[in-house]
Amino acid sequence: MATLLRKIGLIRLHNRDTEDPKHHHNHRGGGGGQQSASLRGKGGGKSSGHKQQHPPGGSGDASPGPGKGKGKRAPELAPRDKPPQPAAGAAGAAGAGGPREPATGARAGPGPAGAAAAGGSLMPAARQQHCTQVRSRRLMKELQDIARLSDRFISVELVDESLFDWNVKLHQVDKDSVLWQDMKETNTEFILLNLTFPDNFPFSPPFMRVLSPRLENGYVLDGGAICMELLTPRGWSSAYTVEAVMRQFAASLVKGQGRICRKAGKSKKSFSRKEAEATFKSLVKTHEKYGWVTPPVSDG
């Protein structure tokens, strides 16, 4: 029985030594056990001299300290605490000192903003188109009125089918005048004039000059220019019609003792537009300086 108990005790010691190597090592080497105990004693003394502060809910080395806890939570809180980043275009505008207009806003689009930006270039074009419409309507009406004249006082032919360039034939003047006698003697059926209408007609006068025959006196000057105040910007009125202007011209020819030139060589020389324009510009400056002479009412 005693022998059996001793065997059981040896078996238990053997199992304990094999299950706990640390105990087996300490059991076999007494010096190593003492050294380990001394090291644990020193570590224990240091640990007891310095208290470690742990946050609530954690203990031991597995629980991180205050510094470690902040370091681990920082990446989780950063996306939440960080303010939302503006878009790339807005960030660039803020860096430049303020919001910028979108890139497409710089172009003049079909919207009101685009129209306002291009207003400087669109307004003159629209105004010119409006003036052309006004001029065209007025001249069409003038042509219709002239075609309905019963006395066939004047007739009109368009130059190169242009509504703004007319050749006007004056068929009649005062039959008691010397000019009418000259027309009969030279078989001149009409006095031909040219009228060109500016863009802002009827608010500006047409430019009128004599083409043929070559006339002397009668307020007809070099190049066929005509000295009449109503043909100047100062004397013109938008109420004047082409028919009224031609009747005034016919009266001026008679008043100024106009004659058909019969001098050899000179009578065949035609008037030029360039010379007429220069002469008209000069006479306008002269009359603006010295004024226009108005004939007495008795002289018509």
Rounded to an integer, what distance in angstroms lies between the CA atom of residue 138 and that of residue 148?
Answer: 16
How many whole angstroms separate alpha carbon 38 and alpha carbon 32? 10
Answer yes or no: are the C-beta atoms of 259 and 179 closer than 8 Å: yes
Catalytic residue of the set 139, 183, 220, 227: 227
| pLDDT tens digits in sequence order for the chain, 300 residues long | 556 556 566 566 555 555 555 544 444 444 444 444 444 444 444 444 444 444 444 444 444 444 444 444 544 444 454 554 544 444 444 444 444 444 444 444 444 444 444 444 445 888 888 888 999 999 999 999 999 998 889 999 999 999 999 999 999 999 999 999 999 999 999 999 999 999 999 999 999 999 999 999 999 998 999 999 999 999 999 999 999 999 999 999 999 999 999 886 666 677 889 999 999 999 888 888 877 765 444 444
Contact 274, 223 (CB under 8 A): yes
Q: What is the pLDDT of residue 46?
A: 45
CA distance 145 to 14: 143
Query: Any idea what the Cα angle at residue 71 is, between residues 68 and 76, rounded to 5°?
Result: 130
Q: How far is residue 271's CA from residue 275's CA, in Å, rounded to a whole number?
A: 8
What pLDDT was estimated at residue 67? 44
User: Tokens in use for 60?
Assistant: 């031991």
Other CB atoms within a 10 A radius of the CB of residue 61 amount to: 9
Residue 139 near residue 164, CB atoms below 8 Å: yes
Distance of alpha carbon 78 from alpha carbon 18, whole angstroms: 52
- The per-residue pLDDT for 204 is 95
Query: Rounded to whole angstroms, how far apart are CA atoms 33 and 56?
Result: 36
Superfamily covering domain 127-286: Ubiquitin Conjugating Enzyme (3.10.110.10)
227 an active-site residue? Answer: yes
Q: What is the 3-state secondary structure (H, E, C) of the chain?
A: CHHHHHHHHHHHHHHHHHHCHHHHHHHHCHHHHHHHHHHHHHHHHHHHHCCCCCCCCCCCCCCCCHHHHHHHHHHHHHHHHCCCCCCHHHHHHHHCCCCCCCHHHHCCCCCHHHHHHCHHHHHHHHHHHHHHHHHHHHHHHHHHHHHCCCCCCEEEEEHHHCCCEEEEEECCCCCCCHHHHHHHHCCCCCEEEEEECCCCCCCCCCEEEEEECCEECCCECHHHEECCHHHCCCCCCCCCCHHHHHHHHHHHHHHCCCEECCCCCCCCCCCCHHHHHHHHHHHHHHHHHHCCCCCCHHHC
Spatial contact of 207 and 277, defined as CB atoms under 8 Å apart = yes
Token pair for 93: 């505008």
pTM confidence score? 0.57
**Farthest CA pair distance, the chain:** 184
Contact 224, 209 (CB under 8 A): yes
